[in-house]
Amino acid sequence: MANEGHVNRRTFLKVAGGSGLAATAGCIGLGGDSGGTIVLGQPAAQTGQWDFLQPGVSQATDVAIQQINDAGGPLGNELELQRRDTGVDPNEARSVTTQLIENDDAVAILGLFSSEINPLWDFLQEQETPVVTPWPGSNFLDTNGGDHDTPDDLSDDEWVWRTVISDTVHTAGAALRALDQDHDTVGVINGTTEGARSWADGFIEAFEANDGTIAERIEVEQEQSSYQSALDRLFGNDFSAFAVSMPLESATTLLSDWADGEYGRKPILSDPLAQPDLASQVGSALDGAWAASPGQSGPGYDTFESAYQDGGDAEINAWTPPAWDVVNVTALAIERAGEASAEAIEQNLGPVTRGDGTEVSTFEEGQQALEDGDEINYQGAATPVDFTGFGNVVGSVVINEVQGDSFEQVETIPAEDIQEFVPEGEY
């Protein structure tokens, strides 16, 4: 969409006033300076095995929405968030997504995990509503999603965008660090969720591509009372380190069994496991274990952090800055489009994050630049955003190491060092 068309559309709306509004329960489908309400839906992990990550994501979302509304809102309208719990269960996620779109009139979905998106892929395509999410690392999305670099043409769109880097990126970082530490042969143990498998797949692919050897890979069910037999099988092989990719509760059980059994060798942890609770519950045997996580090094990080700290006391995790970016890019897409419809948002997510436009790190800055007739390039908190044609972002990877009862950042791997591991196949 050319800048000239964008300006003309906004001019039309100012002249036409509210003639294009869909008056449904006080919410709008099209917008101008109407003073209406734009609903965004957030499927949330308020219960289930990933619920410990939701408070930070909720706080980032709520603070971003408040800041946007304080600036006057997209096209003069107030953003309203409808948050519904899915428990990260695909069946519940399908029901919640339907409710958000059909009952709540949400024009965009701000969430969903890998283990919800992948099995619901065809269903999500049928909704033709953009899913802009801070959660999924799945390497399935490396070549599925986005607008295929044709924002004006919806016919080839796949409607899913993520503001967090792919598992392919930070698992490559984990693999490269393992090799740098002379762990040429490793074991792998992972759970059965889509996210757990995806992390293990990405780690193995990058590790083997750089001449590493996988001694054994074992997949186990989550929520077992003991993992002793699985550990016995894994540690019957010769390796110097082992990678663990499981939900926190199950990983705590497994690693406690590992510590009690004095199996030794170095644990390499998937990024959701970089939690103080894991370090404190497993104890000193875990000292020196580490996780490679999405970096919090976007150009707009300081802006995010300042606002976030004023909004509550939830801890920042690797998915918190991406949640901030989700809200801001969606609001800026509405502002650039001149209307708050699912199709308009989908067509403008790419244009507000790519190219040589005025760099902005807040909605208010972007709103002003668009009012001035400029194109914009949103600079995110987690990454620069710069959506690829598949709706992906690339950023740095940080290494967090267990030191006592906490994880401490000990190294940053720049995005350019692992860029080659991000595939961009044929559209």
pLDDT value at residue 162: 97
pLDDT value at residue 11: 27
- Is residue 271 classed exposed, middle or buried when 0-12, 13-18 and 19+ CB atoms within 10 A define those classes? buried
- pLDDT confidence tier of residue 19, bands split at 50, 70 and 90: very low
Q: Supply 331's token pair.
A: 């609001």
Within this chain, domains 37-165+298-378 and 167-294+396-421 share the same CATH topology = yes
What is the per-residue pLDDT across 226-255, written as a single tens digit (0 to 9) for each? 999 999 999 999 999 999 999 999 999 999
Nearest to 13 by CA among 75, 74, 84: 75
Return d(Cα 273, Cα 292) in angstroms, integer. Answer: 10
Return d(Cα 226, Cα 248) in angstroms, integer. Answer: 14
266-275: average pLDDT? 94
Nearest to 314 by CA among 35, 68, 60, 78: 60
- Check whether 260 has a pLDDT greater than 70: yes
Local structure of residue 371 (DSSP, 8 states): H
pLDDT value at residue 422: 64
More confident of the two residues 22 and 353: 353
CATH of domain 37-165+298-378: 3.40.50.2300
What is the per-residue pLDDT across 198-232, written as a single tens digit (0 to 9) for each? 899 989 999 999 999 999 999 999 999 999 999 99
Task: Identify the H or E element spanning 278.
Answer: helix 276-282
Domain ranges of the chain: 37-165+298-378, 167-294+396-421
pTM: 0.81
Report the mean per-residue pLDDT for the chain.
Answer: 90
CB-based contact 36:105 (threshold 8 Å):
no
123-128: average pLDDT? 98
Nearest to 416 by CA among 297, 242, 245, 263: 297
274-298: average pLDDT? 92
- Check whether 172 has a pLDDT greater than 90: no
CB-based contact 201:175 (threshold 8 Å):
no
pLDDT value at residue 423: 61
- DSSP E strand stretches across 211-340: 213-219, 241-245, 266-269, 290-294
**CATH number for domain 167-294+396-421, candidates 3.90.1170.50, 3.40.50.10420, 3.40.50.2300, 3.30.200.20:** 3.40.50.2300
- Check whether 23 has a pLDDT greater than 80: no
